[in-house]
Amino acid sequence: MVLIYIDQAEQQIKKSSLEAISYGAALAKQLGVTAEGILLGTVTDDLVSLGKYGLQKLHQVSDASLNHFDAKVFTQVLTEAAKATNATVLVFAHNLNGKAVAPAVAVKLHAGIVTGANSLPDTSNGFTVTKTVFSGKAFAHINIDTAIKVISINQNCFGVQMHEGAATVEALSIAIPAASIKVTATHKVEGEIPLTEANIVVSGGRGLKGPENWGIIEDLAKVLGAATACSRPVSDSDWRPHHEHVGQTGVQVAPNLYIAVGISGAIQHLAGVNRSKTIVVINKDPEAPFFKAADYGIVGDAFEVLPALTAAIQKSKA
């Protein structure tokens, strides 16, 4: 049985988990087994309709204390849940919480793990998972050699896939261990789309000259419903907050569309964005290395091109 971890925040199922369900369901079909989910805590989403993404059964440990993530507690509960349900493959989203618990759960289950998988495993001869390595510069095909297997999937690599169907929901009773952390404050950046969950990212580099010029980036992001990001020197100079820094040493993103404005395309920057489906580069230097990694480009001055592009998109959406 394939058991998919369904991650929630503030009692809402994360988009990356819907993708994990889609992936887990496809994998279950490939293996000829059932696709089941494990949800910790309580959510406001309709659970039966998770069947739309291919989930057949959902196991829920609906203790309200599990509405707050705690790596040690979640590791223990997920390990017990995997044992109680006889899971043979566990699927996680390679998101913030997935990164924190999937390897620990694998260790507890004596299971091999591949994190950051890109596609369904090849099960024709063994169990081979493909993942990106060297920060997106290469792929590795890795065999998992244990009976139980754990995979976490890169966001936006598989997509959310809809079917017909309804999931049955079953309560699972597992003893909840004592909390190992105490959350004392939560700070959400209001009105912003989280970078790692965004479908579209608009990113600015040193070519924008200074923080006072970010209005044109934000305007474009707004009409596209996009998140904003930046290159490393931009966050190092405090033009933008650290969490917007993308690249090999910042956040790695893989949106459907990445628009790079006034960014030269250094190898370390590309390493954080090269898994984006479509890359658009706007740069006044036709020799900028980023054009080699781009799908579409405009050679031009960002201060002229961006307002025109924002207006054109607005018009096309009207």
Ligand X SMILES: Cc1cc2nc3c(=O)[nH]c(=O)nc-3n(C[C@H](O)[C@H](O)[C@H](O)COP(=O)(O)OP(=O)(O)OC[C@H]3O[C@@H](n4cnc5c(N)ncnc54)[C@H](O)[C@@H]3O)c2cc1C
| Residue ranges in 191-266 assigned as alpha helix (H) | 215-224, 232-236
**Residue 100 interacts with other proteins (CB under 8 A)?**
yes
**Residue 62 interacts with other proteins (CB under 8 A)?**
no
Nearer to ligand X, 41 or 250 (CB): 250
The token pair that represents 143 in the structure block: 């065999």
Site for other proteins in 276-315 (CB under 8 A): 277-278, 280-281, 291-301, 304-305, 308-309, 312-313
Q: Show Cβ contacts of residue 46 under 8 Å, excluding neighbours closer than 6 positions.
A: none
Nearer to ligand X, 67 or 135 (CB): 135
316/318 Cα distance (integer angstroms): 6
**Residue 236 interacts with ligand X (CB under 6 A)?**
no
Judged by beta carbon distances under 5 to 8 A according to partner kind, the member of other proteins, ligand X, none in contact with residue 309 is other proteins
**Residue 268 interacts with other proteins (CB under 8 A)?**
yes
Judged by beta carbon distances under 5 to 8 A according to partner kind, the member of other proteins, ligand X, none in contact with residue 231 is ligand X
Judged by beta carbon distances under 5 to 8 A according to partner kind, the member of ligand X, other proteins, none in contact with residue 185 is other proteins
Stretch that binds ligand X, among 37-45, 158-166, 210-218, 265-273 (CB under 6 A): 265-273
178/248 Cα distance (integer angstroms): 37
Beta bridge partners of 178: none
242/233 Cα distance (integer angstroms): 10
Residue 240: CB atoms within 10 Å: 21
236 closest CA partner among 262, 206, 258: 206
Torsion of CA 33, 56, 40, 8, to 10 degrees: 110
**Residue 99 interacts with ligand X (CB under 6 A)?**
no
Tell me the number of residues near other proteins by CB under 8 A.
Answer: 98
**Residue 203 interacts with ligand X (CB under 6 A)?**
no
Stretch that binds other proteins, among 18-26, 156-164, 206-214, 267-275 (CB under 8 A): 267-275
